[in-house]
Amino acid sequence: MKKEKKLGSITFPQMGDYAIPANFLLSHILHNKIIVPKKITSRTIELGTKYSPEFVCTPFKYTLGTLLEGLENGANILIQAGGGCRYGYYAELQEQILKDLGYDFKFYNLVVAGHTDVKRIYHMMKEIDPKFHVLKGIYYLLITKQMIKYMDDIDHYIRGNIGFEVEKGSFLKLKEEMLKNFSKVNNPLKLHYLYRKYKKKFKEIKINKPNDVLKIGIIGELYTVMEPYSNYELEKELASMHIEVKRFTNVYYLLFEKHKKIKQYLKNTKKYITYQMGADAADNIGRAKELCLDRYDGIIHIKSSFCTPEISAMPIISKVCNDYHVPVIFFSFDSNTSEVGIKTRLEAFYDMLLMRRKL
Amino acid sequence: MDKVTIGIPRALHYYYYGTLWTSFLEELGFRVLVSPKTTKDILTSGCNLSNDEMCLSLKIYFGHVYTLESKCDYILVPRIDNYGVTEQTCTNFLGLFDMVQNFITTPLLTYNIDEAHQKHEMNEFIKLGLSLGKGKEQSKLAYIHSFKKWLKENKIRKKEESKKLNSQKIKILLVSHPYNIEDPYIGSEILKLLKNMNVEVIMAEAFISREGNKKALELSPNLYWKYNKELIGTIPLLQKQIDGILYVSSFPCALDSLVNELMLRKIKMPHLNLIVDEESGSAGMETRLESFIDILYEKREKAR
């Protein structure tokens, strides 16, 4: 008699709201139980920091913390992605650290050395769930892609207007409702319909936006930009100061737009850089120039501490901003950065921007 | 007319490709000026030019570039991205040219190695020669000659280091990037201390080989950094002939922080992980090295 193997339960690292589309995709294409990572708390960071090497960049600590919490909740299959810089090597060390702690699990790394192999991922999925079907996988992958695009699109609108809402919390409430409904769809038409419906609803929310608002662009390292807990909810803070915020990095950009845009950025910033500098460094220099030309009032550059590509981009970004006379502030976030310190610096920056306006 | 002078900073890649560069440029008829050995002043000027989170090796590089300014016609700052998809280098090496260009006024010479995008070393050297106004054939020949010279030098180095393996003293494998351990500011202090303690230090960098790279992939299948792969590949090759491993990295080296941590966990052998920054004094280092060597001695006594 053939013995049926028990399927494991899956978990993955937490980043912003993207756990929802990730959960959507995995739960539709695999029959495994999925343990959705919880929102990051101070305990997550404490756990992650405790078992990480000393001067590794902060996203390592955050993702290790979420994976540990997932293991505690009974997961035994971990999925980690990889990227262009140090991020691509996270998986291997994290696997070793967790094994040394005595957990029993299987670790799957989607991207190796910055490159994805479709065949490898297919075999990986087959290994996780022998009943995995390719066509179903592709179908839901396309829906997920569209969902991420819609989410990022709506987020873009929210970021520009949340600082001016008349009734407090109306944007976030609607967004939560939207995400809940998004996760229930199962065909692209329904998704598109929902997107149109909620876009209209968002536009109907009452805002009190004067014509001469302060505009700030956020650039920086991708994880810190996208995970609100890791930047101490900087965007929320800016919203409470009634500032219009523009942010470039989102998952849709990283996965589908980056390879096209990067050439344009390099062309635009010929005066400052000639080559790509790893991860998002060259992108951020291009964005800084774009923001300067669009007459933004200020630029905030955020990164996790020890993020090498961003560190090499920083002197060039400050040179660009110097040439165009646009103020820029750099924040570096670590697991033990003091929140008060960040707040004070942000307030001072805000006051300075206001004063510049009055001159 | 005076010869055109080309400056080479004595930091980072110099310790890998120094011979290659100097003999290539000299064969083409240029005068080569290598910056002096790292001193406190060089470090200070490097620190002033750099961001405080940059790694110590990079700060030293900036200092060297700064000393060369206005002393030569060109400064050679290469950009070495990768030698293939799975042979990448540190992100600091990718941005090096652009970072330097933004604070220096002397014109820079560069070549760009990016084999994932068909930018190979020989073609890039020929381009470098062309940009200096030399012929294609001449540059190609100069590259081939200097490449052979470089290989020969590495071979001699390996032979010399291999002799040390027969020594009866306590043997330590020193795993560190050459630009760290050979730099007078970072490494020479450690080497001097070890010499006083009467142990044989074997440099991992001299034993780089294809066989080692394969072994490195057994230890860490996804490792895609060329220089780290070469270094850790030497550990399984020499493991049986040594008593302990000493890892030396500069603060905060991005790649070493991950790879060395993995090695500390995977290789069961006495080891010490030393991290050097611009403030670390020799007293603290001496105590740690002493106790490490005491452990090695004790272990050897027990084995007898």
For helices B56-68 and B91-101, the axis angle rounded to 10 degrees is 30
pLDDT of residue B62: 93
Q: Which of A157, A317, A336 is nearest to A230 (CA)?
A: A336
Q: Which CATH class is domain A210-359?
A: alpha beta
Mutation choice for A interface testing from B48, B257, B263, B274 by most A CBs within 10 A: B257
B85: which chain A residues are within 8 Å (Cβ-Cβ)? 113-115
Question: For residue A140, what pLDDT band results from cuts at 50, 70 and 90?
Answer: very high
- The token duo for A206 is 């009452």
Q: Which residue has the tokens 């400052």?
A: A272
CATH number for the segment(s) A9-132: 3.40.50
> Under an 8 A CB cutoff, do B98 and A274 touch?
yes
- pTM assigned to the model: 0.90
Mutation choice for B interface testing from A107, A280, A308, A314 by most B CBs within 10 A: A308
CATH number for the segment(s) B5-151: 3.40.50
Same fold, B5-151 and B165-303: yes
Interface contacts A/B by beta carbons within 8 Å: 114
Average pLDDT over residues B134-156: 92
| Residue extents of the structural domains in chain B | 5-151, 165-303
Residue type, A188: P
> Under an 8 A CB cutoff, do B85 and A311 touch?
no
Nearest-neighbour CA in chain B from A119: distance (Å): 17
Residue of A nearest to B261 (CA): A53
Question: For residue B21, what pLDDT band results from cuts at 50, 70 and 90?
Answer: very high
Average pLDDT over residues B24-35: 91
- Within chain B, strands assigned E span 5-8, 31-34, 74-76, 79-82, 108-109, 112-114, 171-175, 200-203, 244-250, 271-276
Which of A109, A113, A309 is the closest to B91 by Cβ? Answer: A309
> Under an 8 A CB cutoff, do A55 and B257 touch?
yes
- The token duo for A211 is 């014509």
Average pLDDT over residues B195-210: 88
* Cβ-based burial of A228 (10 A; exposed 0-12, middle 13-18, buried ≥19): middle
CATH topology of domain B165-303: Rossmann fold (3.40.50)
Q: Is the pLDDT of residue B175 over 70?
A: yes
With helix as H, strand as E and coil as C, how does B269-280 read?
CCEEEEEECCCC
Question: In Å, how far from its chain's centre is CA B229?
Answer: 13
Which of A109, A115, A332 is the closest to B53 by Cβ? Answer: A332
Q: Is the pLDDT of residue B1 over 60?
A: no
- Within chain A, strands assigned E span 9-11, 33-34, 77-80, 106-109, 214-220, 243-247, 298-304, 328-333
Average pLDDT over residues A64-74: 91
Q: Say if residues B126 and B24 touch (Cβ distance below 8 Å).
A: no
pLDDT of residue A5: 62
What is the complex's ipTM, to 2 decimals? Answer: 0.88
Q: Which of B29, B34, B26, B28 is nearest to B7 (CA)?
A: B34
> Under an 8 A CB cutoff, do B254 and A113 touch?
no
For helices A134-161 and A188-204, the axis angle rounded to 10 degrees is 10
B53: which chain A residues are within 8 Å (Cβ-Cβ)? 305-306, 311, 332
A113: which chain B residues are within 8 Å (Cβ-Cβ)? 85-86, 88, 222, 224
Q: How many CB atoms lie within 10 A of CB A267?
A: 9
Distance CA B224, CA A91 (A): 13
pLDDT tens digits, one per residue of A238-291: 988 999 999 988 888 888 888 888 899 999 999 898 888 877 888 999 999 999
CB environment B174-193: b (16+ within 10 A), e (fewer) = bbbbbbbbbbebbbebbbeb
Three-state SS at B16? helix
| Bridge partners for B6 per DSSP | B32, B74
Mutation choice for A interface testing from B50, B65, B94 by most A CBs within 10 A: B94
| Residue extents of the structural domains in chain A | 9-132, 138-209, 210-359
> Under an 8 A CB cutoff, do B54 and A312 touch?
yes
> Under an 8 A CB cutoff, do B224 and A89 touch?
yes
Three-state SS at A357? helix
